[in-house]
Structure 1
Amino acid sequence: MRPYLDAGSLSLFLVYIREAHPEGGWAIPAADGICYRQPKTLASRLAVAAKFAEHQAEWCAGVPMLVDDPTTNALDIAYEAPPERLVVLDEQLNVVFFSGQGPFQYSVPKLAAFVKAQLGE
């Protein structure tokens, strides 16, 4: 996706909804040893999301991030996203690609093929 982003033919943003594997929940050992409790306030969720972006900088550097407010979970409800999902919106913000829930029901190669087809490649 990076070549399309760099060329300006694609815009991307991350949506941080909630911890997929929180401490005290369905936690899994992380390679970097990082595990957080499920944030209950927007301030704490923003802090955890910032740490996620910092640790994933190699692929999401410069990509804006939306963070779901844990008091409403509006994005979680709208996209039925936990623990993760791939979604493409067109210029009118209509959903034009919607994967199954990750990590087992989505495919980054299918997303890449969809993007290439939409860009006429």
Structure 2
Amino acid sequence: MSDFAAVADFVVVYVAEAHPTDGWAMSGGMSMDIRQHRCLEERLAAAEMLALHDIPCPVLVDTMDNGAARAYAAMPDRLYIVLDGVCVYKGGPGPHGYHPEEVRDWLQNFSG
């Protein structure tokens, strides 16, 4: 990301938990007990746990009506490039459609 700091701002938008321990939890490897968010305070607390993992950009939090997740089809995870309010790159849904190298290539071509 630092390679493109002059041409792009990076953010993570934390939406509804993809694998809550009281829902569709993944077996093994879950190091955090995150339940489905019932209120904004719980979602903010979960996002704070994410931010503790040295995320090198701001972590924003979706509202409880999941407006950002719906607008960007962000579940479970997805990469976007928004330029002047227009979506110019929409990655596939994760985990199989998650290709950060495509974002790098797009930014390289844009700034190059």
Q: TM-score, normalised by structure 1?
A: 0.84
- Structure 1 segments (4+ residues) deviating >2 Å: 29-32
Pick from 60, 63, 68: which aligns with 1:69?
Answer: 63
Q: Is 1:2 aligned to residue 2 of structure 2?
A: yes
User: Could you tell me whether the CA contact under 8 Å between 2:77 and 2:98 is conserved in 1?
Assistant: no
* Alignment partners' CA distance in 2, 1:29 and 1:100: 24
Pick from 103, 106, 110: which aligns with 1:114?
Answer: 106
* Alignment partners' CA distance in 1, 2:24 and 2:45: 21
Higher normalized helix content (fraction of residues) = 1
Local SS of the residue matching 2:21? coil
Local SS of the residue matching 1:118? helix
Gaps of 5+ in 2: none
Residues 6-34 of structure 1: CA distance to partner in whole angstroms, max 9, x if unpaired? xx322111111111111122212464621
Gaps of 5+ in 1: none
Amino acid at match of 1:111: V
Q: TM-score, normalised by structure 2?
A: 0.90
- Counterpart residue number, 2:33: 35
* Alignment partners' CA distance in 2, 1:109 and 1:76: 22
